[in-house]
Structure 1
């Protein structure tokens, strides 16, 4: 490795640690900074900039070149990063940053009792404004929890550019998980939650009952879905919707329900109405 670091450590960081923390997002072999990076303090960004400039880099011939020392920042090989926002000037600003960091890095929704500062309208408004500047939004989960996610406009733009989107097999397996863990129990009256949380796990044998999905393909898709937080493993066995689905806004949750309706009965009346409405609003 050009960084002289243990290969397994790097693979674990890129495959699990950093995506789970929300610090990076992966789309195939392409990576980008994740939403949690927006909540990093200015001091951390300053350190990262210094490290970034000291990393080895490739030349035009593909060979690795040693980074210039600190005095070499004036050379033409230096890669500049735009300066971030100034450090928080007041305790209020620092509290806003801490709240956003907690919300962005949490695996799931944070209860209001564990984040009582959000009960203050002024603080909540400041959090929403700061999140909006980062392309994020505050989402209320039920009546007692908060989490963050992408607003509809940003999510749509990311999807159009194929950033952070799922592979076809991952989408197919996720649809099956949602059908068996949420849609079917809801149709039977055993699931009343309007979110994608569920207590009705689905097992592998059920997922591969559709013979067009092979076990090896389903296992690989579930591995990617778990890594992205879209699927979780139930304690008693089987699979459940993951915490990432709780970061959907109400509009996005409704769009996902519509997708399942179209998938379940593509030629039905509701499916036709959904397609017509989407065509009209496009």
Structure 2
């Protein structure tokens, strides 16, 4: 841990007991570094109001927030304001091909099943894998580039690879890193999926109109 990190931790945790501090530090590490969401039984800091408050303070100081995945599991994600600042400054860790491949999987595995009422709203896991051949065909990217993008997206947890009982090749589904999205981030992603999958749908027109109104309010006069 760097000296800056040490000072940050000290400023937030200094008044805690040794046990509380241990629980907060352990919870912070689990939330930030676990590939999958963490069950609340493993997050002892959540059982004590003071420890939970300090945990959330520590996350905020590092641009993160506590994200409740369901009633029992938690993870951490980017604070919405920090995420907007990063994207506004042009930060983008994925290449064009990687973004295209990710969007295709989300359309096939989430957006289409949701439109057919096979998935609940605001769900970012899916039992409906997207076949590699569909990704290669629809992405229109060179096969080598698309396959490299799939490998990277699986490695960083944005996609998951599954095997199907019928199709030995299986396919790809949304990965656990998408569970780190805050409710506002999930809403933005859902809007983007609608705009990408059905740009002429009435819902897409509503989204564009809402964004235009928001932008007009935020533009300095």
TM-score normalised by length of structure 1: 0.66
| Corresponding residue number in structure 2 for 1:62 | none
* Residues 1:145 and 2:73 aligned together: yes
**Equivalenced residues, count:** 204
Relative to its length, the structure with more helix (as a share) is 2
Change over 3 Å in CA distance of 1:83–1:93 after alignment to 2? closer
CA RMSD of aligned residues (A): 2.1
| Corresponding residue number in structure 2 for 1:101 | 29
Taking the aligned partners of 1:211 and 1:83, their CA distance within structure 2 comes to 42
Long gaps (5+) in structure 1: 1-43, 47-81
* Residues 1:175 and 2:132 aligned together: no
Taking the aligned partners of 1:100 and 1:134, their CA distance within structure 2 comes to 11
Q: Which of 197, 200, 204 is the equivalent residue of 1:267?
A: 200
Long gaps (5+) in structure 2: 165-169, 216-221
Structure with greater Cα Rg: 1
| Corresponding residue number in structure 1 for 2:127 | 199
Q: Which of 63, 78, 81 is the equivalent residue of 1:135?
A: 63
Post-superposition shift, 1:191? 1.9
Change over 3 Å in CA distance of 1:224–1:154 after alignment to 2? same
Do the aligned partners of 1:181 and 1:240 also contact (CA within 8 Å) in 2? yes
SS state of the match for residue 271, structure 1? helix
Spell out, residue by residue over 1:96-117, the C-alpha distance to the aligned partner (whole angstroms, 9 max, x if none).
1111011101001111233243
Q: Which of 239, 246, 251 is the equivalent residue of 2:179?
A: 246
| Corresponding residue number in structure 1 for 2:167 | none
Change over 3 Å in CA distance of 1:232–1:252 after alignment to 2? same
Taking the aligned partners of 1:172 and 1:208, their CA distance within structure 2 comes to 11
Do the aligned partners of 1:159 and 1:165 also contact (CA within 8 Å) in 2? no
| Corresponding residue number in structure 1 for 2:140 | 212
* Residues 1:45 and 2:2 aligned together: yes
Taking the aligned partners of 2:195 and 2:2, their CA distance within structure 1 comes to 45
Change over 3 Å in CA distance of 1:96–1:212 after alignment to 2? same
Taking the aligned partners of 2:22 and 2:177, their CA distance within structure 1 comes to 26
